Amino acid sequence: MLHEPLQQQLARLGLRGAAEAVSRLPITDEVVDTLALLLDAEGLHRDTLAHARRLKLAKLGQIAHPADVDLRTPRGLGKTRWQQLLSLNWFKRHQHLLLVGPTGTGKSYLACALAKAVIDQKKSVRYLRLPRLDDELSTVQAQGKISPWLKSLARIDLLILDDFGLVPISPGHQPLLLELLEDRHQRGSILLTSQLPIKLWHGQFHDPTLADAILDRLVHNAEVVELKGESMRKLRSAEPTSGSAE
């Protein structure tokens, strides 16, 4: 019994051989306590490195923390609603989340804050800003790496597509959005932000059949948050300098 917690710690760190051997060793209480402290430190070190890797992989558009989200400025997002989003139930159910509203209402910041919450749960995130997606896809296509690119994104738990509709995706690249959605069906979530009302999304695609397929997979399995109000940047420019976040 003395060795059981120590064995569990070793096993969690992937040291299964050591976990099996430790029960056969004549270890004193003092040694067990010392080893437990060392293993806790190793576990914390590994968690810190893994968290840093997930943040680097995410390539978030901005640094955002859930606790810094401004819930005082009227924009259709109250404390209860924000806490519901932070529970990540939509993410755990592999649903998509659509943040829709006028420019300046903090959609990108909210997306990055939610991404931080997902990363803190030891899940992977990747941020793509759609106005720059054409350039990235052109580079990937020129290198003949579209298939590996799609496969790498399919392994991501949460994919963020920021600023949909700000600049139309080129017709040649639009089918890849359908591929992204297909790869994530029942396996991962998409968090999409857009200034355009959902009713105008269909017109962003050159092929109506392709538009139907994309929107069917994106919208019908999604939680929608409609933000409203004036630009928070405009409101803050009229206020005394403060350090508050969006």
In the predicted structure, residue 237 carries a pLDDT above the cut 50: yes
Q: Are residues 121 and 38 in the same domain?
A: no
Compute the average pLDDT of residues 116-123.
96
pLDDT of residue 31: 78
Q: Are residues 52 and 145 in the same domain?
A: no
Q: Are residues 132 and 224 in the same domain?
A: yes
User: Is residue 207 a part of any domain in this protein?
Assistant: yes
Compute the average pLDDT of residues 108-125.
96
In the predicted structure, residue 1 carries a pLDDT above the cut 50: no
226-235 per-position pLDDT tens digit = 999 777 666 5
Higher pLDDT, 121 or 9: 121
3 state DSSP class of 154: helix
In the predicted model, what is the mean pLDDT of the chain? 88
Q: Are residues 51 and 100 in the same domain?
A: no
CATH number, position 223:
3.40.50.300
Q: Are residues 87 and 112 in the same domain?
A: yes
Q: Are residues 140 and 194 in the same domain?
A: yes
Least confident of 33-42, 120-129, 131-140, 174-183: 33-42
C-alpha to C-alpha distance for 86 and 90, rounded to whole angstroms = 9
**pLDDT class of 5 with cuts at 50, 70, 90:** confident
In the predicted structure, residue 244 carries a pLDDT above the cut 70: no
Q: Are residues 91 and 163 in the same domain?
A: yes
pLDDT of residue 47: 87
Q: Are residues 11 and 123 in the same domain?
A: no
Q: Are residues 111 and 194 in the same domain?
A: yes
Q: Are 179 and 147 in contact (CB under 8 A)?
A: no
Q: Are residues 105 and 218 in the same domain?
A: yes
User: Is residue 134 a part of any domain in this protein?
Assistant: yes
Listed residue (169, 162, 178) closest to 214, CA to CA? 178
Q: Are residues 43 and 86 in the same domain?
A: no
Q: What are phi and psi of 15, to 5 degrees?
A: -100, 65
In the predicted structure, residue 94 carries a pLDDT above the cut 90: yes
Whole domain around residue 124: which residue ranges? Answer: 64-237
Domain count, the chain: 2
H helices present in the chain, as ranges: 4-12, 16-22, 29-58, 79-86, 89-92, 107-120, 133-142, 146-154, 174-184, 208-219, 232-237
